[in-house]
Amino acid sequence: MSGEGRIPRRRRCIAPASAILIASFLVIGASRGALAACDLELQGEGRVGVIVDARTLRLDDGRDIRLAGIESPGLDESAAIASLRALAQGRDVTLHGTSDIPDRYGRQRAFVFVYGAGTSLQDQLLREGRARLAGGVADDACAAELMRAEGAARSAKRGLWAGSAAIKNAERPADILAEVGRFAIVEGKVASVRQAGTIWYVNFGRRRIAGFAATISRRMMPTVEARGLSLTSLAGQRVRIRGWVTKRGGPRIDVVHPGQIEPIDDNQAATAAGDR
């Protein structure tokens, strides 16, 4: 790769300290332009050496970087890896987030920007239909940006949205059960909302035990309500739920962040898997 557009590396700099400081501000400013709404801190930089999987980069210095806020497409991982490789391999990047502490697998989670790019890798993969929004983005502005990116791909039927299997039909619990242990997006009309003990159930089927339901811990309710979301008002509405599928009687998704719940208008509803 030529030197053009690369992030200056301190070990190569022989310029005066004042010039280095100015250059650093220019680099950070260029990479943070699209992040202004997200207000995320710079957590590092590096050059992408290897694409490990559809959500993970390995930098030249050995650090593994997990793309925060998205999940793999679930349908065509190879196409997602190819897209990520075309966007990032061999490129200098900046890392943004709230912490640079590695997860239990030793990966740093971050929003990643190719140096000089106006949008994050996450945004680009979502717009290409090569990723799904995870729903756990803490920053509201970032979450809204990524939601718009996913929505653009869904409307254009790009990538994973080209077929009907990308969104599971809440009326077909057997199809959802096939996704146990995997991340899925489920859409349907809420039949009822009830509380049992410390758990709230957003039920999509009339048979509560066998049907699909989203479960929310009572201790999460202040966070849900702070986002302006009333669970009881969801009854009768079309809603999209995203998260990891488990089986407790019927299929379940545990909601641990309000961003996993997306009320939608009928004219915004994407086609679920199979016939409705």
Answer yes or no: do 191 and 152 share one domain.
Answer: no
Q: Give the domain CATH number at 44.
A: 2.40.50.90
β 238-248/250-255 pair status: antiparallel
Q: Shortest CA distance to 240 belongs to which of 200, 276, 201, 268?
A: 268
Answer yes or no: do 22 and 116 share one domain.
Answer: yes
pLDDT in tens, 84-133: 999 999 999 999 998 899 999 999 999 999 998 889 999 999 999 999 99
- When divided into structural domains, the chain yields a total of 2
Give the domain-ending residue among 136, 160, 184.
160
Q: Which two three-digit tokens encode residue 122? A: 């996450």
Distance CA 193, CA 214 (A): 10
* CB burial of residue 162 (10 Å; 0-12, 13-18, 19+): middle
Flag the least confident range among 37-46, 111-120, 151-160, 250-259.
37-46
Cβ atoms of residues 96 and 29 within 8 Å: no
Over the Cα atoms of the chain, what is R_g? 21
Answer yes or no: do 125 and 203 share one domain.
Answer: no
Alpha-carbon 203 to chain mean position: 24
pLDDT in tens, 214-238: 999 999 999 998 888 999 999 999 9
CA angle, 193 as apex, 192 and 195 as ends, to 5°?
A: 135
- Look up the pTM and report it: 0.81
Answer yes or no: do 92 and 139 share one domain.
Answer: yes
